[in-house]
Amino acid sequence: TTAIGCDSTIITNLTFADTQAPIATSCPASFTSCNPVSWTAPVFTDNCSFSVASNYAPGSNLPLGTNIITYTATDAGGNTANCSFTVTVVDFSLSISKTNVSCNGGTNGSATVTATGTSGAVSYLWNTGSATATINNLAAGTYTVTVTNGSCARQASVSITQPAPFT
């Protein structure tokens, strides 16, 4: 009630502007892989509703080389937050050179694997347990190697032979 005895009502329209941008609470680290490439999408939080867009989805076949993956979260107020990481896509091939055993029953065979088209660190694991590109002192038999580059792995096998025994 006013001073002169009248009732009054004040109607006000309040507009609130959202000025708080979404926050990326997790963003994948950069990595090397072969196609198709998988990762866990980043997680965003915000004080209101938001949508997330990306230039690639997990499980995509990406171009060979370096790719920048970007996720953008946009909230109802138009505020944005980004999460970007790099995926280096490799597609490599293997070749194996060998030296066969020189005498029947001998153990002087060897095999060397060469990986072509790799990027960054390469690791080797033969079915003998050896973790180098070359294995020596082999008897006749089949040997398998797994070569890993980032999260990409390839396998190859080689047969070491020996001459027939003297009769």
Q: How many CB atoms lie within 10 A of CB 124?
A: 16
Residue pair 77/18 in contact (Cβ under 8 Å)? The answer is yes
**pLDDT class of 32 with cuts at 50, 70, 90:** confident
pLDDT score for 115: 95
20, 32, 88 from 39: Cα distances, Å: 28, 11, 13
The whole-angstrom separation of Cα 24 and Cα 153 is: 31
The structure's pTM equals 0.61
Tell me, what DSSP letter sits at residue 56?
Answer: S
CA 60 centroid distance within chain: 11
Tell me: the pLDDT tens digits for 84-141?
Answer: 999 998 888 999 999 999 999 999 999 999 999 887 889 999 999 999 999 999 999 9
pLDDT score for 1: 55
Going by C-alpha positions, the residue among 167, 101, 111 that lies closest to residue 139 is: 101
Residue with tokens 């001459």: 163
Which residues 6+ apart lie within 8 Å of 113 measured at CB? 94, 95, 96, 124, 133, 134, 145, 147, 156
Tell me: the pLDDT tens digits for 40-78?
Answer: 999 999 999 999 999 999 999 999 889 999 999 999 999
